[in-house]
């Protein structure tokens, strides 16, 4: 780790960020060059390579069972954490080899399989599978992992950790601005020049849209939102969904599939049938259109209620490829809407870059926890270390 620190302080270090998001649809790997600038601050990461790798078919099936809340024993949890760790490490090694890059460090978020919804009586907890030691053995480099646990131990929500890295990644976006990640959950980072970044999950995004696509289209997602684009929005259904208690809670807050997973999607489908939004399973376009409107309205309303007026609403994550969702956000937002690519950040790579940045801070021994980001007490260094292969 000392050698990586010296490189960060000197010519720069090559750091990979790797994760699978809440949607569980693949392994994102970004490799970036990072260094400390003349002001002793980390400079914005320079992306060297990015790619999303599909999960091996059998591993994908096992993971989908867990994400959809099917009963899972301790044996399968242990094996899944081992196999995900190997898959993450192999994906990193493959991308590095393809581009001839020597890695100084890998920062692995893992795969979130359970995250509190803020209603856990005993307090917040979270679980990411994909053990860092297995990542290290598979990729042949030192690994920092398990970033969320210390944040929660320090009184935080454990999410969205992207808020801790976005000031660096989106340094070129005029302030004040809001970064909206449209992953399995939708989450905001609100950036200004006068105070620390504000972060919170606004509610579900692709967990709902992709869940409906799997159910009615027999596909992992509605490509480009093509089916949703043909539907008619049902305001009654949308307004009922907007009444969900989570959406009314003030930050700091985060959520996950415990609130907005497979069981909730079944409730949405049942209500859509009662309202005659879904009259025939072969014609789900009106339900998909209404779900899209709900995601857009819940996000924009959250920004208005809990954020601040901004110059830009910048989109990233898989949802940027859903045309109707982007259109509905642009219609509802008071600020102009842009893709993060307009500011030089690949919307698909942003989450992996977040963890590369967090890994660099770990090596430098710099605390990142912040009450406005996740609610955690300040001064905590996030992550756990797995040394490189001797």
Tens digits of residue pLDDT in 29-82:
999 999 999 878 999 999 999 999 999 999 999 999 999 888 899 999 999 999
| Cα–Cα distance measured from residue 146 to residue 125, given in angstroms and rounded to the nearest whole number | 13
Q: Please, what are the domains in the chain?
A: 2-158+349-367+381-386 (3.30.420.40), 173-343 (3.30.420.40)
| Cα–Cα distance measured from residue 294 to residue 22, given in angstroms and rounded to the nearest whole number | 19
pLDDT value of residue 118: 77
| Cα–Cα distance measured from residue 333 to residue 337, given in angstroms and rounded to the nearest whole number | 7
pTM, entire model:
0.96
Quick one: tokens of 390? 């001797």
Strand stretches in the chain, DSSP E:
13-20, 27-34, 46-53, 105-115, 126-129, 143-145, 177-182, 185-191, 198-204, 312-316, 337-339, 384-386
Long-range contacts of 338-342 (CB under 8 A, 24+ apart): 338/312, 338/313, 338/314, 339/314, 339/315, 340/170, 340/179, 340/314, 340/315, 340/316, 342/314
Please state the separation of Cα 67 from the chain's center in Å: 15
Dihedrals phi, psi of 57, to nearest 5 degrees:
-55, -50
pLDDT value of residue 39: 79
| Cα–Cα distance measured from residue 205 to residue 325, given in angstroms and rounded to the nearest whole number | 10
Half-sphere exposure of 180 (CA within 13 A, CB side): 35
Q: What's the average pLDDT block by block, 10 residues per block, for the chain (390 residues)? A: 95 97 89 92 96 96 92 95 98 98 98 87 94 98 98 97 97 97 97 95 97 96 97 98 97 92 96 97 97 98 96 97 98 98 98 98 97 96 94
Residue labelled with tokens 């989106």: 170
Residue labelled with tokens 């899944």: 80
pLDDT value of residue 134: 98
Residue 105, helix vs strand vs coil: strand
């Amino acid at each position: 780790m000392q050698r990586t620190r010296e490189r960060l302080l000197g010519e720069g270090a090559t750091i990979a960020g790797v994760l699978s998001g809440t949607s569980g649809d693949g392994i994102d790997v970004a490799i970036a060059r990072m260094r400390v600038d003349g002001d002793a601050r980390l400079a914005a990461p320079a992306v060297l390579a990015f790619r999303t790798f599909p999960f091996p078919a059998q591993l994908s099936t096992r993971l989908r069972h867990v994400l959809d809340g099917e009963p899972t024993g301790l044996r399968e949890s242990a094996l899944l954490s081992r196999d995900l760790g190997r898959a993450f490490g192999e994906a990193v090694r493959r991308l590095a080899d393809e581009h001839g890059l020597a890695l100084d460090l890998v920062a692995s978020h893992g795969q979130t399989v359970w995250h509190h919804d803020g209603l856990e009586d005993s307090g917040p907890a979270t679980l990411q599978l994909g053990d860092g030691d297995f990542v290290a053995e598979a990729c042949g480099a030192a690994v920092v992992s398990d970033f969320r646990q210390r944040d929660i131990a320090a009184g935080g929500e454990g999410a969205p950790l992207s808020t801790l890295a976005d000031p660096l990644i989106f340094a070129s976006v005029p302030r004040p601005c809001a970064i909206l990640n449209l992953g399995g959950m939708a989450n905001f980072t609100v950036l200004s020049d006068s105070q620390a970044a504000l972060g919170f999950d606004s509610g579900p995004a692709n967990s709902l849209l992709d869940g409906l696509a799997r159910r009615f289209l027999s596909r992992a997602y509605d490509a480009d939102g093509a089916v949703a684009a043909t539907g008619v929005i049902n305001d009654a259904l949308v307004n009922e969904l907007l009444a969900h208690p989570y959406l009314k809670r003030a930050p700091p807050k985060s959520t996950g599939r415990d609130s907005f997973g497979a069981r909730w999607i079944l409730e949405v489908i049942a209500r859509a049938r009662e309202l005659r939004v879904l009259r025939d399973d072969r014609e789900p376009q009106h339900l998909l259109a209404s779900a899209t409107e709900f995601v857009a309205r819940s996000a924009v309303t959250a920004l208005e209620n809990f954020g601040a007026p901004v110059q830009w609403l910048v989109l990233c994550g898989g949802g940027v490829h859903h045309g109707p969702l982007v259109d509905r956000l642009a219609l509802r937002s008071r600020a102009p809407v842009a893709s993060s690519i307009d500011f030089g950040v690949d919307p698909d790579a942003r989450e992996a870059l977040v963890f590369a940045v967090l890994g660099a801070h770990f090596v430098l021994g710099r605390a990142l926890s912040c009450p406005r980001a996740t609610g955690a007490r300040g001064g905590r260094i996030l992550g756990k270390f797995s040394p490189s292969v001797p």
